[in-house]
Amino acid sequence: MTDQESNATPPPPRAGRTAERPAPVASPASATSSPSSSSRPSPPAPPHPPRPWRTEGLPDGPPPKPRSRWKAIIVGLIGYAVIFGVLTAQDRLAGPQVAVPYTELKAQVEKKNVSGVFARGDSIEGELKTPAPLPVTPDKPGGPEKPANNDKTYRQFTTERPTFARDDLLGELTTGGATVRATPLVPQRGFLANLLISFAPTLLFLGFWIWMLRRQQSAMSGGLGGLLGGRQKRVDPETVRVTFQDVAGIDEVRAEINEVVDFLKDPEKYRRLGARAPKGLLLSGPPGTGKTLLARATAGEAKVPFFSASASEFIEMIVGVGASRVRELFTEARKVAPSIIFIDEIDTIGRARGGPRSFGGHDEREQTLNQILTEMDGFSGHEGVVVLAATNRPDVLDPALLRPGRFDRQVTVHPPDHKGRVEILNVHARRVPRAADVDFDKLASATPGMTGADLANLINEAALLAARRQLEAVHQRELLDALEKVQLGTARNVVIPEPERRRTAYHEAGHALLGIIQPGADPVRKVSIVPRGRALGVTLSTPDSDRYGYDAKYLRGRIIGALGGMAAEREIFDVVTTGSESDLEVVSRVARSMVGRWGMSERIGTLSVLPSEGDPRMAGVSDGLLDAVDEEVRRITDECFAEARRLIRENRPKLDAIVTQLLERESLDEAEVYAAAGVSRPPSSAPAPTPAAPAAPPPRAGLAPAAASRDRA
């Protein structure tokens, strides 16, 4: 044997088992060696070579042997024998207990004391009318018969009729009034019936035991076919019809994902420069901005295996099932790497631990999150597995999930701007026949703040409307009508009393008038007193261009415009109705955000008092500071309401003119409402947008670019 052969390293043992050194095979020379050489102590075995895997937590020594099944089989057979014996003994105990001689039966027949009998061959079973003394058999066959034992009686009996008997037993029984039956007096089961009945519980128990074992194995292994198995869905790239050509309006986000796709297609281009693919990419943004559409487009562009799963599918009642599904998902993705994993709505299981919303260390959500953190932390960077995740609430995610090394990139998907809306409208209208008068540029100007899902719904509503009108193509009118339906709601056919209809007209005219005469206010696009949904009237105002920041002057104008309907009712009718409910909600929300979140009050100063969620007292805000916030909110709303009433009084003729046109036409568009008020619309009534601070999040006070004031029923 050469040195190279003697130093060869044995093959590594299987994972999860302790490496055992094989025993050396004795050669013929060693077998014939002298006793002195055989008595020498053998040299110590060399230490085991280092293992390429971790074995932390495994017990020392060989693995435990599997439990023998013979014990279970023997126990089952013994139990079956016991059940069979009990059933058989029950039959014996339930039948006639007294065996009497045939002469005793003849004596009872002569006394007419037999109530009924049943015969099977020469065996006779019967029952007496009244109990009789139990006869005593002789000690020896043929010996004298002892007298009856009066202490013991019997009523049911069994006997055997001798084959040589020539008596007319049937006639005697009939004469004595006995009933001769064709069925046994005591129903009995046969041997086969007892066999089946005793075996049925055993079969039922074995079936339940096997079902429980399979269910447990399925839960532990995460089998796809089990009751608690994984539910991840592998998407075939060849069947995905969505590509990056179907994604528009979010070019910067598409560029981020396209880089990941390019890495999966040509990894060597990046590896030779020392670059590695991001382990995770988190897509966040409002609902409907196209996060899931981007994931589907990624599956169509990358041409690699794509695994899609919703985070809610990992949550089950049994703790540990979600972690098992996560393990299976990542294991399957590694087998076919390069691949992509997409987890939708990851905030379902990725919420921050240890906060007020945590459920404890043994909660199923936290166990599943821990498993995701472990799986993403185990990537070497060269496995070619990239995790995409989408959420609407990135602020509630656990910091351990967002750190570099897990989700290396966090991309925010915002609603599209004007150019993006035009592109999205063209994408969704590719299969919709359009008339020559369709102008998506004007339609995009009237839809600020709309997401891709909203625009897709708008195109579909316009196509449905054109089909109902039996048109060959979609015109601009159908698009505008569909926009009105989407933004304002479906019109209701209700009969409104004339006084209430006139009051509604003044309410909506008050909103429209203040939107027209206030400098810097959003232009009025639509005024209607047609009931829609819960509203009796609607006034729609949208800016000429997208806004990303708001100053105090603009917000005060919004409050004044929202209070225009209530101010008109006070000035004309000197009443306050329930129609101002939605207006007051907007006013309170905007005023509170101005004071408590945006630092637009000199008294409160540069303090963030009101958090976006939760009780401000939990953040350390005192009751005195909250009282000051309430006072400032009341001051701002009172000043704005007084200003609204002043403008209504000073422009009463314009208000009456708008009301007259509303009562006549019920709905006025932008040109008609400006003409009714006698005011020429400026080319661009919206001021230049105030740039927002880069680090500040967008306002979340419900301040949408399109403001609709509704008079509720």
Q: Give catalytic residue positions.
A: 508
Spatial distance between the Cα atoms of 666 and 536, rounded to a whole number of angstroms = 11
**Nearest alpha carbon to residue 308 among 367, 242, 363, 253:** 242
Distance CA 394, CA 415 (A): 16
Q: What angle do CA 673, 425, 463 make, to 5 degrees?
A: 80
CA distances (Å), origin 425, targets 119, 246, 250, 487, 704: 94, 11, 13, 17, 20
Q: Is 527 helix (H, G, I), strand (E, B) or coil?
A: strand
Residue with tokens 């089990």: 226
CB 392 within 8 A of CB 296: no
Integer angstrom CA distances of residue 160 from 111, 118, 156 = 19, 12, 14
Give the distance between the most distant pair of CA atoms in the chain.
140
Residue 42 CA to chain centroid, in angstroms?
A: 65
- 457-480 burial, b at 16+ Cβ within 10 Å, e below that, comes to bbbebbbebbeeeeeeebbbbbbb
CA distance 555 to 522: 11
Angle at 179 between CA 174 and CA 181, to 5 degrees: 125
* Other Cβ atoms closer than 10 A to 693: 7
Q: Exposed, middle or buried, 502 (CB in 10 Å: 0-12/13-18/19+)?
A: middle
- Tokens 């003119």, residue? 657
CB 115 within 8 A of CB 129: yes
Ramachandran region of residue 678, left (φ > 0), alpha (ψ -120 to 50) or beta? left
C-alpha 137/C-alpha 160 separation (Å) is 15
With beta carbons less than 8 A apart as the criterion, state whether 459 and 484 touch.
no
CA dihedral defined by 49, 55, 57, 58, rounded to 10 degrees?
A: -70
How, if at all, do strands 339-344 and 524-528 pair? unpaired
Q: Give the Cα separation of 612 and 592 in Å (integer).
A: 11
Task: Provide the edge-to-edge strand list for the sheet that holds 114-120.
Answer: 98-99, 146-160, 123-136, 114-120, 179-181
Assign 385 to helix, strand or coil. Answer: strand
Residue 305 CB coordination number (10 Å) = 20
What are the structure tokens assigned to 436, written together?
């020559």
Name the β-bridge partners of 388: 281, 342
Q: How many CB atoms lie within 10 A of CB 293?
A: 18
Indicate the SS3 state at residue 468: helix
| Residue 467 φ then ψ, to 5° | -65, -40
Cα–Cα distance measured from residue 263 to residue 209, given in angstroms and rounded to the nearest whole number: 50
Task: Evaluate whether 377 touches 280 at the Cβ level (below 8 Å).
Answer: no
Cα gap 340→306, rounded to integer Å: 5
Q: How far apart are CA 645 and CA 563, in angstroms?
A: 9
